[in-house]
Amino acid sequence: MADVEDVTGPGGHMSDKRAATLLQAAQAIVRETGNFDLPMRTLAARAQVSLRTPYEVFGSKNGIIRALLKSEQEEFREIVRNYRSIDRLEMFFDRTLLGMEFYAREQPFYRALFRATQAFSGGDETEPAREMLPIYTNMVRRAIEEGFLRNDLDITNIAEILTDLFAANLRNWASSDFDIWLAGQKICFGFSLALAGVATPQWVDRLHLNARAYDKAIQDYPGGAALPVR
């Protein structure tokens, strides 16, 4: 079998090919071990490249972890782009539960990924769960424009609260062993309460109904897989 480093595509896309091969190898190792220790020698051997190649392509192990996260995030964005909520208000909950469905596919892998990215975030890096802030900011702005939320409060402050709720629950899930659906119900329960406080009058009752539904789902959680409220 030819070494991947000896294969260059049209236009010299060797680096792209090496990156894809290394990411595939890294994913396989993480799925086998359940952690992101990722010894570079093991990674290079699995990808059939020299030991220097992972450093040349990604700079460090943290670079590989970040690239894996970006790859997963792009896959999820494609799912969201193809989904249509009934309105801007429901989108806050739909997006959360779509995310839980995404993570539920392989919880040990995503737990390990979040733990690893939390470990190296800092400085110029944003904790992955807090990368939702600009997305929530845009969602809040749209919900205000369409009359679901009040326009007399700071958009960023609202988005920060939603991000806090999301990040705290994802961080707790990543360091625990409960099912991802429980994290989803808790996030949506928190969103119901937070959004009810900033909603225009005609939407408050609906959010209170949401809160009761998610509250019941949390109370009924049996210690196994919580049933999603959809």
> What is the pLDDT at residue 5?
37
Residues 50 and 115 in one domain: no
Residues 209 and 110 in one domain: yes
Any domain includes 102: yes
Any domain includes 70: no
Tally of domains in the chain: 2
Which residue range(s) make up the domain with 121?
A: 85-219
Any domain includes 65: no
pLDDT above 80: residue 12:
no
> What is the pLDDT at residue 125?
55
Residues 52 and 114 in one domain: no
Kindly give, in sequence order, each residue whose CB lies less than 8 Å from that of residue 23, ignoring residues fewer than 6 positions away: 64, 67, 68, 71
Q: 3-state class of 175 per DSSP?
A: coil
Q: Which two tokens stand for residue 26?
A: 């890294």
Residues 157 and 54 in one domain: no
Residues 188 and 98 in one domain: yes
> What is the pLDDT at residue 116?
78
Residues 100 and 17 in one domain: no
Mean pLDDT of 51-65: 88
Any domain includes 78: no
Q: Are 144 and 150 in contact (CB under 8 A)?
A: yes
Q: Are 127 and 167 in contact (CB under 8 A)?
A: yes
Q: For the segment 77-132, what is each residue's pLDDT rounded down to a tens digit?
A: 888 888 899 999 999 999 999 999 998 988 888 888 888 776 655 444 567 778 88
Residue identified by tokens 């079998």 is 1
Any domain includes 69: no
Residues 103 and 53 in one domain: no
> What is the pLDDT at residue 3?
36
Kindly give, in sequence order, each residue whose CB lies less than 8 Å from that of residue 64, ignoring residues fewer than 6 positions away: 22, 23, 26, 38, 43, 54, 58
Any domain includes 127: yes
DSSP structure class, residue 122: -
Residues 121 and 185 in one domain: yes
Dihedral of alpha carbons 86, 88, 93, 95, sign: positive
Q: Which two tokens stand for residue 140?
A: 């809040």
Q: For the segment 35-50, what is each residue's pLDDT rounded down to a tens digit?
A: 778 888 999 999 999 9
Residues 137 and 192 in one domain: yes
> What is the pLDDT at residue 113?
83
> What is the pLDDT at residue 142?
98
Helix axes 155-174, 133-145, angle to 10 degrees: 140
pLDDT above 50: residue 60:
yes
Residues 184 and 105 in one domain: yes
Residues 112 and 210 in one domain: yes
Q: What percentage of the chain has pLDDT greater than the value 70?
A: 85
Number of Cα atoms under 13 Å in the Cβ half of residue 193: 10
> What is the pLDDT at residue 120?
54
The CATH number of residue 25's host domain is: 1.10.10.60
> What is the pLDDT at residue 112?
84
Residues 97 and 179 in one domain: yes
The model's pTM is 0.80
Any domain includes 39: yes
Any domain includes 126: yes
